Structure 1
């Protein structure tokens, strides 16, 4: 019998990692004419979708998964480069998803789903990007803006070794969760292995963004929505917000692009305003169903 998670029915698929097999954990839930597959941000598991995914499962089949070393997926000693993350994403997409699908990516998951859509144009009908980090913002600007991230991810490893990381995450990233979703997020994300996997993703993020910037921009020709955290208040602040400007440029680059802002300044829009994220996914789901039924 399949296991259960707060985000649906759990299962695993196996990939060959160097000389050893490795399991990738995923969950499915819901029914509908369109499948929605979610990609988490840097160093985060499926649990960041624990509020938005159940809303989407009311009208679509949903797929969430854990990258290597995160959540319930096996760890790997291989560096967590952008290419490695993309390969895992495509493995899940090819194996678990059929028919028209919408890809949803948060933060560093944004460029992953954009690249995946370009790799699988026959399958991907639309993209929702939730406060993504984009090569259009510039890798060097992102590096400076995230200057303290290295210390943060290093500190998380030590907190995990002391058995304290789970409680820190309970009061920060996962403060909006409750019940089984909260228990899973704290138990799984508080492990030493998860903290090391997150640190490896960070160590390889800026080089990956440099590569994307040099070869991009990577904007697939599909219906696309950018959701931006409302960090700015004045016209001048919006002009200087390079993240906001990168989102606006991405939405403008496709024929059916849409750019919306959240009500809050929080980067984790899907945990603060899950209804907004679900509504944008529903809009693309309706459009995709019409297009694929025609």
Structure 2
């Protein structure tokens, strides 16, 4: 028998229209009553970017990471690339995984996706952990200069992918991953196809957060929400934006009667790589107090 992959065993979930989403699963401890934890990656990121967090969480609960359509090993979706559509795919994955309950963990642009999915089916959501997520409460998201910088970054990423240099540009950010995961990131994450999907996701994210300013997804107040903020400015988040984003994360946690805001002092935006243990510990704490289950300490 070969060595188990860092992120566990693979599977596919039907999501309609003949499409399937690819996921990887670690089963958690025998006999656990804890909710299943499902990880939603940031914009254009694959399941692999959770590889430092998922195995830690699997010490307490079943842990699943997946690829959105058009990323990693999930086939492209010819349909509309809206956040509502992405959330519907996530809910179809949850249908496949079982009745729940579920804890949904999201990074960056994955935040709006899990919020919409949870608002659509709140009865099976035991809690959310939002890791430096995109939030409409951050006014600087709608600044013209910021939006222009996003478009420039998207064009630059597409060019670097076409000439085979995008992975080189991100080599420092991914070197912490174990060899089996790193090989998959290099093969899947920095391709022209992935950057085309990124462009579609960026458009969807802008549209969704703009709409959320008037009509945000509504979650029951008793669903626990933990919001984690990277505290360091970096190339993706200069200081002014970092401060505004952090305030939006505090705001989101305050919408929950059981909200919790957590600073990641050693991290910029990429908390999933720089402080995976902190994220895992916050998932454990939420599992201990959320609806529908408990986790061993």
The TM-score by the shorter chain falls in which range? 0.7 to 0.9
Distance 1:156 1:239 in 2: 21
SS of match in other structure, 1:60: coil
Matches within 5 A, 1:260-271: 260-271=262-273
Distance 1:175 1:109 in 2: 22
Moved more, 129-138 or 155-164: 155-164
Distance 1:115 1:191, change over 3 A: same
Matches within 5 A, 1:48-59: 48-59=49-60
Q: 1:63-94 deviations in whole A, cap 9, x for unaligned?
A: 11101111110012334221221111111112
Q: What's the CA shift for 1:139?
A: 7.2
- Of residues 9, 21, 25 in structure 2, which corresponds to 1:24? 21
Q: CA RMSD in A?
A: 2.5
Distance 2:40 2:186 in 1: 19
1:108–1:133 CA contact under 8 A, matched in 2? yes
Distance 1:212 1:36, change over 3 A: same
* Gaps in structure 1 of 5+ consecutive residues: none
Distance 1:266 1:151, change over 3 A: same
The TM-score normalised by the length of structure 1 is 0.87
4+ runs deviating over 4 angstroms: 237-240
Q: What's the CA shift for 1:102?
A: 0.7
SS of match in other structure, 1:122: helix
SS of match in other structure, 2:65: strand
The match for 1:161 is: 162
Distance 2:170 2:74 in 1: 19
Matches within 5 A, 1:190-269: 190-216=190-216, 218-221=218-221, 222-231=223-232, 241-269=243-271
Q: What's the CA shift for 1:254?
A: 1.5
Distance 2:114 2:144 in 1: 21
Structure 1 residue 277 corresponds to structure 2 residue 274: no
Distance 1:168 1:97 in 2: 39
Distance 1:179 1:240 in 2: 32
The match for 1:188 is: 188
2:158–2:196 CA contact under 8 A, matched in 1? yes
2:14–2:20 CA contact under 8 A, matched in 1? yes
Matches within 5 A, 1:79-228: 79-138=80-139, 140-141=141-142, 144-172=145-173, 174-216=174-216, 218-221=218-221, 222-228=223-229
The TM-score normalised by the length of structure 2 is 0.86
2:108–2:131 CA contact under 8 A, matched in 1? yes
Distance 2:274 2:179 in 1: 17
2:83–2:112 CA contact under 8 A, matched in 1? no
Distance 1:89 1:263 in 2: 30
Distance 2:73 2:55 in 1: 19
* Gaps in structure 2 of 5+ consecutive residues: 234-238
Q: What's the CA shift for 1:292?
A: 4.3
Q: What's the CA shift for 1:219?
A: 4.3
Q: What's the CA shift for 1:60?
A: 0.5
Distance 1:15 1:171 in 2: 35
Distance 2:287 2:122 in 1: 16
Q: Count residues in correspondence.
A: 283
